Amino acid sequence: MHRTVRVLDRLISRHAGVCLLFGLLGLTRCQPLRAVEKTAATPNVLFLICDDLNCDLSCYGHPLVKTPNIDRLARRGVRFENAYCQYTLCGPSRASFMTGLYPDQTLVRRNALYIREHLPNVQTMAQMFRRQGYFATRIGKIFHYGVPRNIGSSGHDDPYSWDVTINPRGRDKDEEHMIFSLKPGEYGGSMSWLAADGADEEQTDGIAATHAVRLIRQYATENRSFFLAVGLYRPHTPYVSPKKYFELYPTGQITVPTVPDGYLETLPPAARLSLTKKKQHVNISPDMARKAMQAYYASITFADAQLGRILDALAGSAAADNTVIIFTSDHGYHMGEHGHWLKTTLFENAARVPLIIAGPGVTATGRSTSSFAEMVDFYPTLAELCGLRAPACLSGVSLAPVLKDPLAKPRTSALTQLKDRNYTLRTEKYRYTEWGEGGSGGAELYDHATDPQEMVNLAGDPRHADSVARLSQQLHTRIADARQPPAGVQQIHFDDTRRVPR
Where does the pLDDT of residue 500 fall: very low under 50, low under 70, confident under 90, or very high at 90 and above? low
Per-residue pLDDT at 497: 76
Instruction: Kindly state whether residue 442 falls inside one of the protein's structural domains.
Output: no
What CATH number should be reported for the domain holding residue 328?
Answer: 3.40.720.10
- Please give the Cα distance from 98 to 118 (Å, whole number): 14
What end-to-end distance do the CA atoms of the chain give, in Å? 18
Instruction: Kindly state whether residue 428 falls inside one of the protein's structural domains.
Output: no
Whole-prediction pTM value? Answer: 0.92
Number of domains in the chain: 1
What is the DSSP code string of 252-320? GG-------TTGGGGS-HHHHHHHHSSGGGTT--HHHHHHHHHHHHHHHHHHHHHHHHHHHHHHTSTTG
**Of 279, 284, 296, residue with least CA distance to 333:** 296
CA distances from 157 to 19, 107, 126, 131, 144 (A): 21, 16, 12, 18, 6
Mean pLDDT, residues 219-242: 98
Task: Tell me what percent of the residues of the chain surpass a pLDDT of 70.
Answer: 91
**Of 420, 46, 386, 411, residue with least CA distance to 231:** 46
> Is 183:194 a contact under the CB 8 Å cutoff?
no
- Please give the Cα distance from 168 to 207 (Å, whole number): 6
- Please give the Cα distance from 327 to 233 (Å, whole number): 14
Instruction: Kindly state whether residue 47 falls inside one of the protein's structural domains.
Output: yes
Going through 31-109 in order, the beta strands assigned E by DSSP cover 44-51, 77-84
CA distances from 406 to 5, 54, 78, 366 (A): 40, 22, 8, 11
Instruction: Kindly state whether residue 496 falls inside one of the protein's structural domains.
Output: no
Per-residue pLDDT at 420: 86
CA distances from 180 to 126, 187, 240, 340, 412 (A): 37, 8, 10, 19, 43
Per-residue pLDDT at 501: 57
Mean pLDDT, residues 159-164: 98
Domain that holds residue 399: 40-414
H/E stretch holding 69: helix 68-75
Instruction: Kindly state whether residue 56 falls inside one of the protein's structural domains.
Output: yes
Instruction: Kindly state whether residue 499 falls inside one of the protein's structural domains.
Output: no
In 3-state terms, what secondary structure has residue 379?
Answer: helix
Mean pLDDT, residues 356-378: 98
Instruction: Kindly state whether residue 379 falls inside one of the protein's structural domains.
Output: yes
What is the C-alpha R_g of the chain? 22
Angle at 430 between CA 369 and CA 60, to 5 degrees: 35
Number of separate helices (H) and strands (E) present in the chain = 15, 19
Tell me what the pLDDT averaged over the chain comes to.
92
Going through 52-188 in order, the beta strands assigned E by DSSP cover 77-84, 135-140, 164-167, 180-181
Mean pLDDT, residues 415-430: 97
- Asked whether residue 17 carries a pLDDT value surpassing 50, the answer given is no
Instruction: Kindly state whether residue 400 falls inside one of the protein's structural domains.
Output: yes
Strand order of the β-sheet with 443-447 is: 414-418, 422-426, 430-435, 443-447
Per-residue pLDDT at 266: 97
pLDDT digits (tens, 9 = 90+) for 256-271: 999 999 999 999 999 9
- Residue 450 CB burial class (10 angstroms; 0-12, 13-18, ≥19): exposed
